[in-house]
Chains A and B, each alone.
Chain A
């Protein structure tokens, strides 16, 4: 299985801050990397697919970059509604699809 290491595991930030979350994979996965946002009690939401493509309807302050084994999700200017947990997920070598352990973004 491809192992996903996501860091930091938690992050405190303020509205307006620029934040980045990193996902590292145990082997090269080209750009087969996706990012999700998850709020308690809600359905997880696809933000970024294929490492850098913005899902329809997702604000442009979200962006993704990287290829191979290192990937980054960046939020350019945090809004209140962005405080949530974020997961990366690989679809390069399946089964199984694997997810990172999550990064909880909290208000400072």
Chain B
């Protein structure tokens, strides 16, 4: 059974880079059927899609974050990484890793991790 598990520092200082990893277990990240995404939820707010990566490294990002975001895939370790630079308190959020299908007509998030809380504070 495929599972996603996010990990990374729970506290990041303002202006630094947030780095998170999502380990995919129980299946291969190299499936041509799926993209792997990062989604976040600031405290008391709704969900915001950050970006998605395909197993071959192709990415697309939320235009509101694209200047600060890098999402990459590590096929040898079956994991997906998120880097968000120049963070501020507004980046404090619960960060989720999720999977969505690759075809245009079937793009829903059918599998999620439990999330990891990142606080931006000095």
Contact = CB atoms under 8 A, between A and B. Distances in A.
Interface in B21-47: 37, 45-47
Interface of B: 4, 37, 45-49, 51, 60-64, 96, 98, 100, 105-115
A91 B108 contact: yes
Contacts of A41: 114
Contacts of B63: 1, 95-96
Q: Is the interface of A mostly helix, strand, loop or mixed?
A: loop
Nearest to B62: A96
Minimum-distance CB pairs A-B, first 5? A91-B107, A43-B112, A97-B49, A99-B47, A96-B62
Contacts of A34: 108-109
A99 B107 contact: no
A89 interface: yes
